[in-house]
């Protein structure tokens, strides 16, 4: 399989950032739900991570992206700032080498059932398309952004309490303890006392990071989390907990500089992993998305968003779908979207 330009660019950008001593998934994180402005498809996985990172680097405020052909189909054109600013995203499909054509997931299931000897003929194929941010499109109507829903500290506490309860994990504070860690054999998160944290956000960021580890328990998402401290496998799990908790922190509006600094100790290990095991970065991102979805579902994030929805309903929403703000319909269909996404990832034409 040929290399994906999307993954090459993401790897390069992340390595450059890490070598500068910065953590890329935490660097100037803005809460933007990025989507294709033509199809209203919301980006996920690898595409989301690259577009998010580049949006932060370039200061994009517009969450919409378009391919060159989509811009033409709208009767518009790219402006002079677009040159060199296209970002490659990837699109996956199933390809029948014998028939020399792309096929649907249904076609593959039929082949598997009726002609199983032909299974080796079917391969995943990746294509790259360059997309341009809305700021680079001449004549594109401006997107009027509404105010973002901002959760309060009391919401953070209630979310964490709900998450802990629904996960069934034990949260244990020890006064004389100065470290936070998860004990898989006891399914327990051990924390320093609440008063030992500089801010409430520091406390909740640490708790969410450790709960991300706890999702790996065999009764939940069942990952390999019994690793020796300092090992490569340990660093791989830290990568998953780091990225997934950054997703959840972003949804809750939690920013903790202290936690970011503490996790810089893993930077050299992450550089080694990304340089020597390229696929591991992308595997970690996909796992992190599943972890974040699990935590948001168990913490019942939609309830907290609904508390503020009455205020948002009084404001006019943008005409295009999937803006940077959460809408009531989006959060109420979160559980459905999670199950549909699992099916979508295995289907033909999966845009990640």
Q: Which of 106, 138, 170 is the last residue of a domain?
A: 138
Return the beta strands (E) in 68-222 as ranges. 77-78, 87-96, 101-103, 122-133, 137-138, 170-174, 181-183, 188-192
Q: Has residue 337 been placed in a domain?
A: no
Q: What is the mean pLDDT of the chain?
A: 84
* pLDDT of amino acid 5: 93
| More confident of the two residues 17 and 144 | 17
Q: Long-range CB contacts (< 8 A, 24+ apart) of 328-331?
A: 331/301, 331/302, 331/305, 331/306
State whether 209 and 283 are in the same domain. yes
DSSP string for residues in 88-123? EEEEEEEEETTTTEEE-HHHHHHHHHH-GGGGGGEE
Angle made by CA atoms 339, 10, 284, in degrees to the nearest 5: 45
State whether 132 and 170 are in the same domain. no
State whether 32 and 133 are in the same domain. yes
State whether 213 and 269 are in the same domain. yes
pLDDT digits 0-9 by tens, 200-248: 999 999 999 999 999 999 999 999 999 888 898 999 999 999 999 989 9
State whether 106 and 181 are in the same domain. no
What is the longest distance spanned by two Cα atoms in the chain? 67
Averaged pLDDT, 98-110? 92
Indicate the number of domains in the chain: 2
Residue 32 · residue 281 · CB < 8 Å: no
181: containing domain:
153-302
Q: Has residue 352 been placed in a domain?
A: no
| More confident of the two residues 17 and 303 | 17
State whether 183 and 240 are in the same domain. yes
| More confident of the two residues 124 and 312 | 124
Distance from C-alpha of 120 to C-alpha of 113, rounded to nearest angstrom: 13
Q: What are phi and psi of 251, to 5 degrees?
A: -65, -35
Q: Has residue 90 been placed in a domain?
A: yes
The encoded tokens of residue 293 equal 């979805």
Q: Has residue 80 been placed in a domain?
A: yes
């Amino acid at each position: 399989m040929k290399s994906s330009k999307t993954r090459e660019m993401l790897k390069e950008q992340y390595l450059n950032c890490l070598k500068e001593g910065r953590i890329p998934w935490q660097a100037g994180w803005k809460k933007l739900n990025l989507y294709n402005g033509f199809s209203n498809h919301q980006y996920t996985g690898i595409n989301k991570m690259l577009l998010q990172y580049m949006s932060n680097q370039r200061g994009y405020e517009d969450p919409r992206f378009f391919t060159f052909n989509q811009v033409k189909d709208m009767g518009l054109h790219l402006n002079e700032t677009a040159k060199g600013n296209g970002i490659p995203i990837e699109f996956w499909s199933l390809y029948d080498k014998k028939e020399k054509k792309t096929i649907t997931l249904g076609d593959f299931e039929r082949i598997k059932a009726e002609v199983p000897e032909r299974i080796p003929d079917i391969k995943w194929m990746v294509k790259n398309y360059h997309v341009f941010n809305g700021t680079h499109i001449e004549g594109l109507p401006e997107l009027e952004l509404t105010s973002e829903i901002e959760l309060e500290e009391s919401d953070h506490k209630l979310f964490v309490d709900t998450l802990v309860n629904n996960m069934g994990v034990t949260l244990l504070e020890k006064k004389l303890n100065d470290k936070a860690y998860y004990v898989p054999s006891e399914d327990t998160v051990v924390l320093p006392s609440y008063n030992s944290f500089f801010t409430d956000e520091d406390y909740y960021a640490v708790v969410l990071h450790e709960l991300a580890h706890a999702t790996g328990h065999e009764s939940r998402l069942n990952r390999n989390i019994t690793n020796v401290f300092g090992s490569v496998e340990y660093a791989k799990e830290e990568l998953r907990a780091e990225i997934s908790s950054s997703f959840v922190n972003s949804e809750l509006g939690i920013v903790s500089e202290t936690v970011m600094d503490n996790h810089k100790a893993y930077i050299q290990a992450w550089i080694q992993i990304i340089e020597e095991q390229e696929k591991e970065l992308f595997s970690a991102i996909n796992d992190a998305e599943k972890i974040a979805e699990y935590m948001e579902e168990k913490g019942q994030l939609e309830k907290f968003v609904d508390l503020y929805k009455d205020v948002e309903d009084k404001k006019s929403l943008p005409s295009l779908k999937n803006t940077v703000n959460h809408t009531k319909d989006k959060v109420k269909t979160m559980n459905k979207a999670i199950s549909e996404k699992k099916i979508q990832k295995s289907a033909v034409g999966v845009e990640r």
